[in-house]
Each structure stands twice: as C-alpha cells, then as structure tokens.
Amino acid sequence: MATFSTSEFKSGLKVLIDGEPCSILENEVVKPGKGQAFNRVRMRNLKNGRVWERTYKSGESLEGADVMETDMQYLYTDGEFWHFMKTDGSFEQIAADESAITDAKIWLKEEDIYTIVLWNEAPISVTPQNFVELEVVDTDPGLKGDTAQGGTKPATLSSGAVVKVPLFVTIGDVLRVDTRTSEYQNRVTK
C-alpha cells in the first residue's frame, strides 16, 4: 500500500494508525510565520468509530489503508455471523462478526441495504440507512382519542430496537425511524 505524506492528507483519505484503519476527516496546517509547520488532523478510527485529533510534524507520513465502502443487502444471521450479499449482481456474500455489526444490530431487517466498510476485504463496520421502516412488535395498548398531543411510550421494533413513540402507536404499525438518533419520524401504515 502507498504511503502518504502530510501534504497529501485530505478529507476521506484512509490510513493505518497504530495498525488500525482510520479515515481523515480534516487536515489543518498550522504554521507560525517563523516556525516549524504542523498538521492538525482530525480522524475517525473505522473499527470503533472513535474521533480524535492528532498533530503531526509536517513531512511525516502514514501508510495507506486498503479500505472500501460498499452497499450490501442483509440476508440473515446464524447467531455468530451476520450475512450480507453484494448488490452488484455477483451474489457474492460476506459475513460480519459481532465487532463489525455492533450498533447496527438493532436496526437489521432482511433485504434492506446497509453500508459495509471493508478493510483488506473483511467487514469492519456496518451502518444502516439514515431512515428505516420497521414494524412494532411490542408496546403498551394505544390510548383512544390521542392523536398528536401528549406523551410518549417505549415501543419494541421487529429488529430489536426500542424507540419512544407517540401514545397512539399500536402493535403491527410500521414506523419510519431515524437510525442516527433512534427518533420516531412517522407511521407508514395503519
């Protein structure tokens, strides 16, 4: 894999840091008029999602990471692995383990599309679409006459996620939910 010097750092570049794949989010050159230049780099660890800032003396370099993002369709889980299929017509499948699936686990729905990050062709993270539609499988009975105003109650969705919903929502409703905030958006069907 190629190496990249600080002058080539830019948003989106994938590099290896302490042996882990990271994505550069921001690279700012900091140079006093009469002083050594530094690069203040904000990056995200692609395995654990941690975002932090590291400062490099200008001229230092980093090894590139073979990282690729791809959209894949979720198929099923066997309990140990979660299986996805490429959407390019190749029907090629990959299996993501617990460490890659993490936060996405409660948003999985068969046949839905997910963004998978592959490092050296192995999946390291799975991200659901920003909005998903999921069925309510458990919630307290709805309150008659309550339409818009009023409080909220927890509802369990078919994927396992628990979200706060308006009181009128009942079991069997399909809801549109923002996966980034776990916020209820609206009811899709009644």
Partner 1 sequence: MTTDWRPSAALETLQQRAVLLAAMREFFAKRGVLEVDTPTLMPTTATDIYIDSYRVDSAASFLQTSPEFALKRLLAAGSGSIYQLGKVFRREAPSKRHNHEFTLCEWYRIGMNLEQLMDEVEALVQTVFAAADSQRTAAIKIERLSYRALFETYFAIDPHRVSLDKLSALAEQSLDLVAANLSRTDYLQLLLSHCIEPNLPEACFIFDYPVEQAALARLENDERGQPVARRFELFLGGMEVANGYFELLDEAEQRARFDADIAERARRGFDHVPIDEALLAALAAGMPECSGVALGVDRLVMAALGIDDIAGVIAFPQPRP
Residues found near partner 1 in the complex (CB under 8 A): 6-10, 27-40, 52-58, 60
119 DSSP assignment: E
Q: Which residue, 8 or 20, is less far from partner 1 as judged by CB? A: 8
Spatial distance between the Cα atoms of 137 and 93, rounded to a whole number of angstroms: 29
Residue given tokens 């959209």 in the structure block? 71
Instruction: Please report how close the Cβ of residue 49 comes to partner 1 at its closest, in angstroms.
Output: 17
Q: Which residue, 26 or 98, is less far from partner 1 as judged by CB? A: 26
Instruction: Please report how close the Cβ of residue 8 comes to partner 1 at its closest, in angstroms.
Output: 7
Structure tokens at 178: 């923002």
Instruction: Please report how close the Cβ of residue 51 comes to partner 1 at its closest, in angstroms.
Output: 12
- What radius of gyration, in Å, describes the C-alpha atoms of the chain? 22
Spatial distance between the Cα atoms of 33 and 79, rounded to a whole number of angstroms: 58
Q: Which residue, 62 or 157, is less far from partner 1 as judged by CB? A: 62
